[in-house]
Structure formats: structure tokens, C-alpha cells
Amino acid sequence: MAPVSNKCLIFKKIPEGMIKKDVDMALEDKPLELTPPPKGVVAKTLVLGFDPHMRDRMKGPTFVSYVPGYIHEEPIQGFTVAQVVKSDNDQYPEGQLLAGLLPFCEYNVVPIEYFEYKLQAAPMIWKVDNKYNIDLGNWVGALGLAGQTAWTSFYGLVKPKKGETIWVNAASSTVGEIVVQLAKKEGMRVIGSVSSDEKVEYVKSLGADECFNYTKETCDAALQRLAPEGLDVVYENVGGDHFQAALTNMKWFGRIIVCGMVSEYNKPPSEQFGVTNLAEIFRRRITIQGFIFSDDNIYTDNIGKFWEHMPKWIADGSVKARATTFEGIESAQDAFLSLFTGKTFGKATVKVAEPST
């Protein structure tokens, strides 16, 4: 079989500061023969999902983290929705929808090892069961990495208690918006923070008791105004001055669950925010816990309930998940950059192709 055109988002070089389009990454054609390997498949990409942690992976192959850094001149990987177009495995027939971690290419040859591999406790690729006929973009958002991150950490680490006060920063992000809604379902008092007045209104529409625009009011001032008695829980997505404000405004024995620190990802160490109040950790006896969604201590006991409830809640509208959708793989670089410029609302996705029926 002759190779077909296969556009891919390629990692070119380690960024210095903000990612640069067509410099640190580029869209290139990597022709591919659509022949499945033994027990493997060929999958056509339908949706790409962009997540802030992908910026960390651009620190290169020597970067040590929970997932390897990207390799120069190889495709950038992330969470996708794809459809099997050629198969050598009866468990994954032609037409089967898949979600999981794959290279950002129009087509991928997927060996059997990908289906057997696990990211800590989670599968690398799983079948999409779209029994509620909801938009496939949800499988890279509320039903993908972001939704599973929110759910497993909320029930595995936040361990909500009715009446507690939680501050969710980056509350209009895909992880943030899910945490806000789960917290309200569990009877917590929810304070959100976001970067625009439009996002404030959106977060309030999700049920948040309070939300503030941190570009108009410092986090510290807003938290003293909205939670003068202190915070029981902080769900930390931003880092920097947000993390400093969290430490200053915690109750004794409060807990900070650290999902990410997106404000620092595009800054060299010399420009990153220097937190100056770390002594509050022992003064207030604060527990700080980082995590990855697939950690066995939070994933294994909670993922079953996620799949039981979340697809239905998305379908019936009782949980809302907003996305900014770009069209065509040619827009992949713009979608990635939008994560760090405040131009996304909810999940940043790229619609690459329509599924075949």
C-alpha cells in the first residue's frame, strides 16, 4: 500500500519562554502506510486535546517527570479521540472509537503494546462507549484527562465535607469547571477565580458561590473579602501569586491539592514567582499534596464511579463542560498557544476529522 499524506505536529526545539509557532513546533507531513502491525491497528485522528502539562514535556527528552519529555523531530503526543480504519485485532475492529494518549498526527499505526501499557494505574488507550451520543470532544475534556483528573483528585484527595470552603483557581478551565461542579454537588462553599469578567459569570453559572477576576483584584485581597474565616481547601491550578495567597488564607490544618502551576510553565527559573511565605505551612499545619490523575491511590478506587456518573451527567446537562474548538489539524499550533494566552474557554480542542459511520 502506498503511503498517504499524514500531517503531524512536530516538536522542533526546547522553547525559551513562551512557545513560538513554527519555531519550537511545526506542522509537517510524515507520509504513512496504513498497514496495521501484528495485533495492532491503524487509527484516524478525529479530535486533539491540548493540556497545560504538554508545555512541561517540551523541556526535551532528558526532562524527568511523570511522563517523558518530547523527542526532537518526533510528533508531540497528547490525548486524542481516534477511529480504527485498519485492524489486525478482533477486539478493536474497524470503526471502533478510541481515546487515549497518541501522537498528534492525522493517522497513527498503533501497536498492541499501546493497548497493554498503563500510565501508572490508568490505561494508555481505551474504547469509547458513546451510548449517550454526546460530542466526541468530551473524550479529551470532561471524559478524558481533565475530567478524570478532576474526579480522581477530588474524591481521592480533597475528600469533600459538606460546609467546607474551597477555592478553585483557573475555575473556568476544564479541570476547574468540573471541580467547581463536583464541590457544589457535595455541599461545599465554592470560591472561583478567573482572568475575565465573562469567565466570572460563567463560573457563577456553574453554581459557584463566589468568583473573582484576579486581573482586577489581587487574590489575597479577594480571599480576605470572600473568606475572612479562611479556606479549608485550595484546588491549585495556577501557582505563583495564587499559591502564595493560598498559604496566607488557609485555616489551620487546611489542605492544598496541587493539580498544576500553569502560570510558571513558560518562564525560566529566574523569572518564576518566588513564594515568600512558606513558613505558613508549619504555622497553619497545612497539608500540600501533588498528584497525577492515574496514581493508584486515587485512580483505582474512584474511576468506576466516574464512568458510572460523568457521561450521564454530561448528556443530561447536570454537569457542564465548555470547549474552545479549532477546525483542522492546521490550527493545532494556535490551539496549543491559546492555553497560555487566556484565549481558551474551557478545553482547547482541534476537530481533525469526522467519524465514519
Torsion angle (degrees, nearest 10) of CA 13, 16, 18, 22:
-30
Query: Average pLDDT, whole number, for the chain?
Result: 96
Whether the predicted pLDDT of 301 surpasses 80: yes
pLDDT digits (tens, 9 = 90+) for 116-158: 999 999 999 999 999 999 999 999 999 999 999 999 999 999 9
Structural domains in the chain, CATH included, are: 7-141+322-351 (3.90.180.10), 145-296 (3.40.50.720)
Whether the predicted pLDDT of 265 surpasses 90: no
pLDDT at 228: 98
Classified as helix, coil or strand, 182 is helix
**Planar angle of CA 322, 325, 330, nearest 5 degrees:** 160
- DSSP H helical ranges for 186-264: 197-205, 219-226, 241-248
Place of cell 487574590: 219
Bridge partners of 122?
119
pLDDT at 286: 99
pLDDT digits (tens, 9 = 90+) for 305-339: 999 999 999 999 999 999 999 999 999 999 999 99
Separation CA 116–CA 74 (nearest Å): 22
pLDDT digits (tens, 9 = 90+) for 217-259: 999 999 999 999 999 999 999 999 999 999 999 999 999 999 9
Separation CA 201–CA 183 (nearest Å): 18
Whether the predicted pLDDT of 345 surpasses 90: no
Separation CA 110–CA 321 (nearest Å): 29
Give the residue among 70, 89, 86 at the shortest CA–CA distance from 78.
70
The grid coordinates listed for 275 are 513564594
